[in-house]
A and B are shown apart, each in its own frame.
Chain A
Amino acid sequence: MLRPPGRLLPRPMSLCLAPVGELGFLVDPIGPGTRALTALEPGDQVDVLGPLGNGFRLDPERPLLVGGGIGVAPFPYLSERLGCPPALLGFRTADHAEAAALVPNAEVVLEPTLVTDALAPGFDVLACGPEPMLTAVSRLAPGAQLAWEAPMACGFGACYGCAVEVDGRMARLCVEGPVISARAEMTTEGGVALSVAACSSGRALARRGGGR
């Protein structure tokens, strides 16, 4: 979770890059919170809490990263950890597709072509992107690891805001996800009011690093 100065609540972000001594995040400024994050200047302080939640499992035999839009955010670091597997990334426009340069071994498709049009069988899919994309991927690739998102105020189970329906019951995405196997039936409704990409690759609650 990242909180810029002056904001009440943090935003859930996936780790994009992790060179030694640094943490890199890819943020789409879609609202006041994410705009405050992208407006940070060198030297500004940001509260960091994490890693949190359940990330992608790193044991697939034939990994394929499938991303849509800002869902590309966790893939640069994930690709590094998985030894640069093939990636299939979909974007609305060529401008948006600039982010694909961060992911090695990536095939890019632009709308109206969808990643599901280009998805080859026989891979262990790890996907992050908008809900319709995840739903479509889960039909084509049973067992895929899907990183979902929901508005989230805390990231450690306290606010109950990120509840989504999993297998017919409400589950907190920060506790049981955000990466959930496609076997589970998931539905979320509406918005990304608080989150950009809640695809995290963490494990447990750690003390935040920044000062208040």
Chain B
Amino acid sequence: MILNASGCLDALTAPEVAREFDAFVTKTVTPLQREGNAPVRIAETDVGMLNSIGLANPGIDTFLADLLPRLLDLGPPVWVSVGGFAAAEYADLCARLERTDAAAIELNLSCPNVAAPEDEATAIVAAARAATGKPLFAKLSPALPDLPAVALAAAAAGADGLALVNTIRGLALDPATLRPRLGTAAGGLSGPALRPVALAAVHTCFRATGLPIVGMGGVETGAHALELIAAGASAVALGTVLFADPGAGARVREELAGEARQRGFADPLAARGVAHADLDGAPPGPVVRVADGARKRSAQVGLKV
């Protein structure tokens, strides 16, 4: 299963790109409209890309009235990413999505360009869980000091899956002036530099929670996608690669199937978790049992525990 990473594709301006994915994940929607950060918002570095978009979005009212119906018309299931500054805001966003045909909700708990709500992960997931029966995915920052502990807390609070990872903080300076290239100085680092970070995050959270994981971070090829699956992901999302290659969805899917076959896996998901096989002589797989509700709701969107 291949998705786009939230904020890395506008299905309304590039519908043919969105249709290449098994589901389209929206840019994060917040309670109120946000214009986003002042320019400059992006910069390429030697090892990845920095962005400081600042959660620009029209707000939940306009999203529900204008954007979501058009997104649903495109065809692929729509996962709505939501973000707020308090548990009650997430709960309200989820309650309003409950009455729509959105396939799943991703809780953005990790945007590095706003005040970090990581400490409230448990409260936010629990509030969201109380507000919706839709599959809930917690998107976490890999920069958390104890990521698996937060992932486990999210699972205990009712998350059905994890989305790993969001960007990490980075800074680029103009070589001539030695001033920050982004308007906000630091921004979110994505692209190739994030690849080993994402692998480690998926690896540790798979072991800790056993939840379905949408793995993302620097994936450019089918081989990269297969590595995330081996670390424990059951779906893979594409982000920065789409900017340079809008056809990456179909390409990575095809490459992934080939890479899996080459290694003797009939299906790419047969490789899920194999990276764990030799750790301490343990069998591949998580160390905890996944709750029935999470198992059921993840299956609704095609993700196996």
Contact = CB atoms under 8 A, between A and B. Distances in A.
Interface residues on B, range: 35 or more
B39 A194 contact: no
B26 interface: no
A151 B38 CA distance: 12
B35 interface: yes
Given A159-B51, A160-B56, A170-B56, A194 B43 contact: yes
A8 interface: yes
B13 interface: yes
The A contact surface, by secondary structure, is: loop
Given A156-B246, A188-B39, A8 B16 contact: no
Interface residues of A, number: 37
A159 B13 contact: no
A193 B40 contact: yes
B138 interface: no
Interface stretch (B3-11, B98-106, B154-162, B261-269): B3-11
B96 interface: no
B276 interface: no
A8 B35 CA distance: 27
Contacts of B27: 160
Interface in A38-65: 47, 49
A7 B43 CA distance: 13
15 contacts: A1-B244, A3-B244, A47-B244, A151-B43, A152-B42, A153-B51, A154-B246, A156-B14, A158-B14, A158-B17, A158-B242, A161-B51, A162-B41, A191-B181, A194-B44
Interface of B: 7-10, 12-14, 16-17, 27, 35-36, 38-44, 46, 48-49, 51, 53, 56, 174, 181, 183, 191-192, 240, 242-247, 251
Given A160-B41, A163-B36, A194-B42, 18 more contacts: A8-B48, A8-B49, A8-B191, A8-B244, A47-B244, A151-B40, A153-B51, A153-B243, A157-B13, A159-B42, A159-B243, A160-B27, A161-B42, A162-B41, A170-B35, A190-B39, A191-B40, A194-B44
